[in-house]
Amino acid sequence: MKYKVLGNTGVLVSELCFGTMTFGNETDETEAALMFNRCRDVGINFFDCSNNYNGGRAEIILGKLIGDCRDEVFITSKVSQRVGKDVNALGSSRRHIMLSIEQSLSRLKTDRIDLYFIHHFDPLTPMDETLRALDDLVHQGKVLYLGVSNWAAWQIAKALGISEKENLACFKCIEPMYNLLKRQVEVEILPLAQSEKLGVISYSPLGAGLLTGKYSNSTKLGTGRIVEKKQYSQRYSNPRYYEIAEQFTNYAQELGVKPGTLAISWIMANPVITAPIIGARNVAQLNDSLAAINFHMEPQILDQITRFSDAPGNATDRSEEELDSTFKLRNS
């Protein structure tokens, strides 16, 4: 296992992060323990969680698993998504953040969360209120580092500016969606992360299973995340995604590599990515992802895989700058 510095924190984390979203739903406590131990055996010290995963059950299970190795692992949790029926049981207000952190710490049975994410952008709460609440958590020692997930680049940049101006604890890591089918982050979010030295842990590396060879235009299974959960069926409803996935899967078979292994290796090859978040329902699924640790991504393989998908457009309409690397703004 290789370890990378998380942004500019000085903390070393494994090049794969294990996501616990299935804990307490598709994965029971026994299987969760088997997967956690398998991850620890190969050197993973980075575990991602959230207060809304399966009604808090994921945090409870993870809390039990880290009991005898708390100081050897780096854990995350999140706040802002709905966690109850009350009208205020969501968002990024000071009130909700302060209530949620206590609940998460209790479920995780720990005195601090290593990396605490704002899960989604809250349009109803002023950004500076959210950032001040998070700064208080850092000063209280309940949170060590701050992160943000599912924000646009302009929102992240604005938050970094406010934190700098007001001398507040700032975001150290971002958690965006990224896979061969969903490459929008390459336009502005990853360049922002590189410029500001932010860690990046990307989720959904397998495209809800599309990049494992499980689905195709000609094969529609009756089970799986895309079938069972509306948000995934909507997210990957574009028929083009199935075409890309089928080409990619065929290529993986030619190489003699499991498609899931190859999909994760492709993300790991991006130097801006600190660690893809891998998830699984059981140890058998997990092993394909873990195999990415030992896969050597040669440049020609990386190039071929990238060519299967559709690159996102330029961040501006000045497309001529993409075509001519010598183009100079002073010539305009």
Active site residues: 53
CA distances (Å), 84 to each of 53, 60, 89, 100, 146, in order? 12, 16, 5, 11, 24
Pairing label, strands 3-5, 12-14: antiparallel
Can you give the C-alpha Rg of the chain in angstroms?
20
Do residues 149 and 175 touch, judged by C-beta distance below 8 A?
yes
CA distances (Å), 298 to each of 302, 303, 305, in order? 6, 9, 11
| Phi–psi pair at 273, nearest 5 degrees | -80, 125
87-92: long-range contacts (C-beta < 8 A, 24 or more apart)? 91/122, 91/124, 91/125, 92/118, 92/121, 92/122, 92/125, 92/129, 92/130, 92/133
| Phi–psi pair at 303, nearest 5 degrees | -65, -45
Q: Within 13 Å and on the Cβ side, how many CA atoms surround 131?
A: 21
Pairing label, strands 12-14, 113-118: unpaired
